[in-house]
Amino acid sequence: MSAIAAARAWLRRMAAAAPSAWHYDAVFRWSAIGASAALVLFVLRLADSPAPNRSSPVPATSVPTSLGPSYGAAAGSSSVPPIATTVPKIAPGRSLDGVAIAPAPERDPFGTIPSATHP
């Protein structure tokens, strides 16, 4: 059986199953409605866009041609903050150098309701 014949047979089976799926399967029904609406909107959008490059109403004089170092900042000042050379902190006064990674305890009580025997 050629690939074309196999594809035709598969499409026939799917077409024969579609009415039953439409009647009994709400997910299929709403998916088909959504796909149809998307196809209609896609076709209408393609038909509506004869001119892809529309002119902008913004005047060209208000847009700078190049963004130099003085754009948006005072002359002589730098808008980039200096890079810190300190060691990153996990909490105030505690660096990541001394952190030891250990496995979790056998029974982690996090997220469980305490039993009545616990005080």
The predicted-structure confidence for 31-84, as pLDDT tens digits, reads as follows: 999 999 999 999 999 888 766 565 656 555 665 566 666 555 555 555 666 776
What's the mean per-residue pLDDT of the chain?
A: 76
Would 43 be classed as within a structural domain?
A: yes
Count how many domains the chain has.
1
Would 45 be classed as within a structural domain?
A: yes
Would 71 be classed as within a structural domain?
A: no
Would 44 be classed as within a structural domain?
A: yes
pTM for the predicted model, two decimal places: 0.36
Would 29 be classed as within a structural domain?
A: yes
CA distance 47 to 68: 42
Would 99 be classed as within a structural domain?
A: no
Residue 24: burial class (beta carbons within 10 Å; 0-12, 13-18, 19+) = exposed
pLDDT grade for 103, boundaries at 50, 70 and 90: confident
Q: Which domain holds residue 41?
A: 24-49
